[in-house]
Structure 1
Amino acid sequence: MATDGGIHHYARGEWHGPSLSHRRIRLQKGLYADFYHFLLLGEGSAELHFDNGEDRPLQGALLAFLPPQAGCDLSIAAGNAAHLVGASPQIMVDAIGEKVESYSLRIFTEQRKLVEVSDPPLVAEISPLISGLVRELGDPSRSSWMVASAYIRLMLMALWRGAGGERSEQRGQGETASILQRYRQLVEAGFRRHRPISDYAAELGVTADRLHSICQRALGRSPIQLLHERVVQEAKLRLERSARNIQEISDSLGFRDPTYFSHFFKRKTGLSPAGYREIARASAGSENSMLSSGYADWP
């Protein structure tokens, strides 16, 4: 993780006040190439110009969330104003955390599309969070990583709920889907504890055999495969996006010793942790399918 002194390499917060002329801002440029962006547009108009040629007019008051894959320019009309907040993958990982809701937030943020919300109560809820983060990042005496991460977490939770994510999960698809979803959430909250599958099954109120059957039928994987994939996914992220050494990463993932962690990681990926990190650093900024670009590939 970066020190707070380098926070502006990992987060941006800008207030674009009313201007006499039209402005065009490239969102994913240079330092911000892989940033996730939140746009808060007040009363007025703006437009997004996507790299695929699509143009999306925006009319405030409005909140928009754009993942890095949604490469675009932002045009703000003369006389209008907007807040723009960006977060790097590193600070997004920290903001999303490892709680019960984290799995859902990860999937939500990996969608390759614009999320646009104009619901007045939601815009009113998120507006002070965005303006607070802009103030935090604009004050050199503060600019705390922890504060920035906390603001982004609150913004994500509000946006996910406002976009219907929580209601969609609650509706579910019957008992089987509910058990599978709850298993995913339990794994998300406790994958570092290396609990036996029988413990998860007992907490879900089903037998280990039934949990195995549900996972195999829905995803073609056993519960232990899903658990191990989640551990590997987290290991990849930490190897790619943190400065921790192998032993520290091993400890943070609940392994008894780094040698066991290295054997586990190589068995699952074909590479040692050090070898994977070397490839990740050499491939930074490229689309290498070996690398962990996010959590959407975790079923």
Structure 2
Amino acid sequence: MNRWQRPPPDPEVQLLKGELAASEWTFSESGYRSFIFLSGSGSVRSGDGEVPFAAPCLIWLQARRGGSLRANAGSRGVSLSVSEISFARAVGMGPNARAIREALSRPLLVVKLESKQARRLADSVEGILEEGMQDWPGMDDAVRHRLALLLIGAWRLSGPVMREAQPLPRTIMHRFLHAVELHMREHWTIARYAQEVGITAECLNATVRRVTGRSPLAIVHARLTQEAISLLDSSNLPIADIAETLGFHDPAYFSRFFKRQTGRSPNKHRQNSALRSHSGHSFAAWP
């Protein structure tokens, strides 16, 4: 099996070449898994039981801990593993984004395909693999756009999306976190996030507090702080550039925000991080 994997949040592609023995995947991480089988058969096991499948078919599922997929000997196709962040970036915020997220956020989707449909989807996944293997200029953008085309194709094949009159708390959180990942640098209001999720601001606030114990604004601020810490620790960018990257037009305001969240200024955090890194180097191991 050929495999390409770049550091998260980029996707992982695996070619399934018809092994002589059965193959099995056990899911232990969050994110999504997709299998396009051109030939063969098998079954998917989850908390809801076991679902058999036969090629040609598309399988799309949330990679929840405890789930697994077994492909019988001789099964051929492709597999794609997608992180939550990569999924969110590929879906984007276009007119069909919400419908795509709803369709592909189901626990399990098994769609019987015609051979041509399966081949077309498999070619889309193999295109992602080819981009990663060649390391061409613009590869990241090409991978994201190829993944977006694949998601649209899977959505079209999934059938009509049934909208929930009253979204479940898990669905609300899922949509909210996707929106935060995409738009935290734009500093949306909570009302704007609620509009994107499809509920009122009051409902969003109540749901997020019930699920996490924190307000929606606290979730957004925590995610911005996490990004700020990552940039401070892993780059030499000036504080003003980091502020601009994160959507703060005033570096002084960014510094006040960061200190309010962490108890120290960005400069102080960077100094402490440099000292920790320096103290981690020891001459004791030298020959």
Residue aligning to 2:224 = 235
How far is 1:40 from its partner? Answer: 0.4
Q: Does 1:67 align with 2:57?
A: no
Residue aligning to 1:78 = 73
Tell me if the contact between 2:91 and 2:100 (Cα under 8 Å) persists in the aligned partners: yes
**Partners of 2:56 and 2:190 in 1: CA distance:** 48
**Partners of 1:101 and 1:265 in 2: CA distance:** 35
Aligned positions, number: 237
Letter in 2 for 1:79: G
RMSD of aligned Cα (Å): 4.9
**Structure 1, gaps ≥5 residues long:** 1-5, 174-183, 205-212, 279-299
What do residues 144-202 of structure 1 show as CA deviations (whole Å, max 9, x unaligned)?
332222221222233234334x7545x979xxxxxxxxxx9xx888765557899x7xx
Letter in 2 for 1:8: R
**Taking structure 2 as the reference length, what is the TM-score of the superposition?**
0.57
Letter in 2 for 1:257: D
What do residues 124-143 of structure 1 show as CA deviations (whole Å, max 9, x unaligned)?
65333123223334446789
> Could you say if the C-alpha distance between residues 67 and 197 of structure 1 is closer, same or farther in structure 2, counting changes exceeding 3 Å?
closer
Residue aligning to 2:11 = 11
**Partners of 1:162 and 1:268 in 2: CA distance:** 45
Q: Does 1:117 align with 2:136?
A: no
Within 5 A, what are the aligned runs for 1:15-34?
A: 15-19=15-19, 21-28=20-27, 33-34=29-30
Within 5 A, what are the aligned runs for 1:28-177?
A: 28=27, 33-50=29-46, 52=47, 54-69=49-64, 71-99=66-94, 101-102=96-97, 105=100, 111=106, 113-120=107-114, 123=118, 126-139=121-134, 144-164=139-159, 167-168=161-162
How far is 1:83 from its partner? Answer: 0.8
**Taking structure 1 as the reference length, what is the TM-score of the superposition?**
0.56
Tell me if the contact between 1:70 and 1:114 (Cα under 8 Å) persists in the aligned partners: no
- Equivalent residue of 1:65, what SS? strand
> Could you say if the C-alpha distance between residues 255 and 105 of structure 1 is closer, same or farther in structure 2, counting changes exceeding 3 Å?
farther
Tell me if the contact between 1:22 and 1:76 (Cα under 8 Å) persists in the aligned partners: no
How far is 1:114 from its partner? Answer: 1.9
**Partners of 2:265 and 2:190 in 1: CA distance:** 26
Greater C-alpha radius of gyration: 2
Higher relative contact order (CA 8 A, sep 6+): 1
Residue aligning to 1:209 = none
| Percent of residue pairs bearing the same amino acid type | 19
**4+ residue stretches of structure 1 with deviation over 6 A?**
140-143, 187-191, 195-198, 265-275
